[in-house]
Chains A and B, each alone.
Chain A
Amino acid sequence: MEYRIGLAQVAPRLGEVDANLELLAGWLRRAAAEGVALTVFPELALTGYLLSDLVPDVALSADDPRLAELSRMVPGMAVVIGLIEESDDHRFFNSAVLLRDGEVIGVHRKVYLPTYGMFDEGRFTRPGDRIRTHPLGEPLGRVGLSVCEDFWHPSLPMLQAQDGAGLLVNIAAGPARAPGSPSGMAAIAGWHRMQDTYALLGTVAIAFCNRVGNEEGLTFWGGSRLLAANGAMLAEGPLYEEALVVGSVEADDLRIQRYQLPLLADERLEVVRRELDRVIAERAGLPTAADDAEAGG
């Protein structure tokens, strides 16, 4: 059974929520016409990326009626939207919100905020502290959401795959940089290697939606990709141009792949957890279970 996914790699306007609501509505209409079951918009599609002190001006809650209205425009379609989410206690997150028929199905708050080199996200938003999956329904089951930098930490997608995700959705605002690689920009080549690896090792389909357009000196490269659970590329978007990239994931491929390559089932989660606990304790200088055994023995 096929599941049709649309990656809408749009160029939002910085700080202009109303204009971006209209922008997203236009692309949703196109996605509906293409028979898409899930439309994915990029990171901060509703607000633009380089917000700095504009963060509180553009923030909204996940259950904001404007989001529900947008979602209700396309009955039955699931939609992932990137935005600045304000919690009830006024914390500001870079979030991916999953909606269908006006209802919020899931929210992922970006866990890893890059605050190094050209990035300064930790200065303006707070990190999320949950890595979960959300029900997407048949045929893929659950979906794991993540935002851009989250994907540079393999524990996150692998945890979501273990948590039942048949599809990982990563929404991004990736700036092109590091020219000189055979594919033009080394930053793009790095993303490709990572996605291919996650599909292969997680035996999970990957939907990566990266924005386009410019903000200040940054150029976002687009190049959204849809990968099957065996790593095969199902669809790829153009570089630097707005586009709706549509492809279909075959749910049966997930089943076959997970039988042929039972990596998820073979994972020794209890061993991983025990060793992780030990590493955490050692790095913090805390006594470990091994120390306790020695002391008691």
Chain B
Amino acid sequence: MSDRAPETPPLPVIDPGQTAEVIIGFIRGQLAQTGFERLVIGLSGGVDSSTVAFLAARAVGPDNLLGIRMPYRTSSPSSETDALAVVGELGCRTELIDISPMVDPMLALIDEADTLAGHVRRGNVMARQRMIVLYDRSAAFDALVVGTSNKTEALLGYGTLYGDMAGAIAPIGDLYKSQLRALAGHLGVPPQIVDKPPSADLWPGQTDEAELGAGYDDLDRVLFAVVDRRWSVERCVAAGLDRGLVEAVARRVARNEFKRQLPPTAKLSLRTPSIDHLYPRRRPGSRRGS
């Protein structure tokens, strides 16, 4: 036996001030490299999109930020209240676009409406419709779409491919949910947004933590150990983490690898995009007008 005190699995901490500075610089750098000056974001009233909106407003100024509120008929009214609170705090531009008439004809084609699979299919349709609206508004507003996915949901695959996972840049893609809350507090995101139970709000009463089967702090503790620190399941268990949760999280991370990568290309030529045609995304000639 080792005489060391047993390890305790910590939550990943950040310095919110320096984190905000890095992300704001990242957003500005991406805009400079692409030749855009404006940003469009979908505002759900949740902590993720609210925090990104605060960062984006600091990066480009509120007048260059367009926050789109896109409720469906069953969306919680508090989502709209909270999204408007963000707009009020930031003084950014905003539009309200009801997606109900856009998605209802599609939802009518889903025959398993009351099953879990039906819920997921309906949720995916809404998430992808919001993507269509955001990209259309980005063309009209001459802006880039800012992604709002965080590291916890990216690792767990808790998002819709080509839906809420779509975006030109991912400012909070390397922040766990628990880190994001710390950053949100630092930036001055209204407390009722930071403290409410996270929900994709795709059907009434839905919460992330019920769907994921654990609270975000527990999930982040496991992810930080397994992903960032490369701990084995046994080491996690020895450190006091629940074996069932660790195994379920590890399986889920592996199962959702496909959501974090471009689709594989069948290699045929001497030089294949994404295999051996390797360039930075932004380079001479890729800026607009260059």
Residues of B with C-beta under 8 A to A213? 25, 29
Would you call B283 and A219 a contact (CB within 8 A)?
no
Would you call A52 and B279 a contact (CB within 8 A)?
yes
Residues of B with C-beta under 8 A to A14? 33, 280, 282-284
Residues of A with C-beta under 8 A to B279? 52-54
CA distance A57 to B280 in the complex (A): 13
Residues of B with C-beta under 8 A to A16? 284
Residues of B with C-beta under 8 A to A239? 18, 21
B288 lies within 8 A of chain A by Cβ: no
Would you call A219 and B282 a contact (CB within 8 A)?
no
Would you call B22 and A215 a contact (CB within 8 A)?
no
CA distance A50 to B33 in the complex (A): 13
Nearest Cβ on chain B to A34's Cβ, whole angstroms: 26
Would you call B21 and A240 a contact (CB within 8 A)?
yes
Choice from B28, B277, B280 contacting A216 with Cβ under 8 Å = B280
Binds B, one of A77-85, A142-150, A179-187: A179-187
Question: Chain B: how many interface residues by the 8 Å CB criterion?
Answer: 25
Question: Chain A: how many interface residues by the 8 Å CB criterion?
Answer: 21
Residues of B with C-beta under 8 A to A219? 22, 25-26, 29
Instruction: Specify the chain B residue showing the minimal Cβ separation from A213.
Output: B29
Nearest Cβ on chain A to B130's Cβ, whole angstroms: 24
CA distance A130 to B67 in the complex (A): 55
Residues of A with C-beta under 8 A to B211? none
Nearest Cβ on chain A to B58's Cβ, whole angstroms: 14
Nearest Cβ on chain B to A6's Cβ, whole angstroms: 23
Residues of B with C-beta under 8 A to A184? 15, 17-18
B19 lies within 8 A of chain A by Cβ: yes
A237 lies within 8 A of chain B by Cβ: no
Interface residues of B in 22-74 (CB under 8 A from A): 22, 25-26, 28-30, 33
Residues of A with C-beta under 8 A to B283? 14-15, 54
Known: A179-B19, A217-B26, A219-B22. A15 touches B280 (CB 8 A): yes
Residues of B with C-beta under 8 A to A51? 280
Known: A179-B18, A185-B18, A219-B22. A52 touches B280 (CB 8 A): yes
Instruction: Specify the chain A residue showing the minimal Cβ separation from B175.
Output: A179
Known: A14-B33, A184-B15, A213-B29. A176 touches B22 (CB 8 A): yes
B267 lies within 8 A of chain A by Cβ: no
CA distance A70 to B188 in the complex (A): 47
Choice from A176, A179, A185, A216 contacting B281 with Cβ under 8 Å = A216
Nearest Cβ on chain B to A16's Cβ, whole angstroms: 5
B278 lies within 8 A of chain A by Cβ: yes
What string of 1s and 0s marks CB contacts (under 8 Å) between B156-175 and chain A? 00000000000000100010
CA distance A180 to B18 in the complex (A): 10
Nearest Cβ on chain A to B179's Cβ, whole angstroms: 8
Would you call B280 and A180 a contact (CB within 8 A)?
no
A214 lies within 8 A of chain B by Cβ: yes
Would you call B22 and A240 a contact (CB within 8 A)?
yes
CA distance A5 to B14 in the complex (A): 34
Interface residues of B in 264-290 (CB under 8 A from A): 277-284
| B interface residues with partner A (beta carbon < 8 Å) | 12-15, 17-19, 21-22, 25-26, 28-30, 33, 170, 174, 277-284
| A interface residues with partner B (beta carbon < 8 Å) | 14-16, 50-54, 176, 179-180, 184-185, 213-217, 219, 239-240
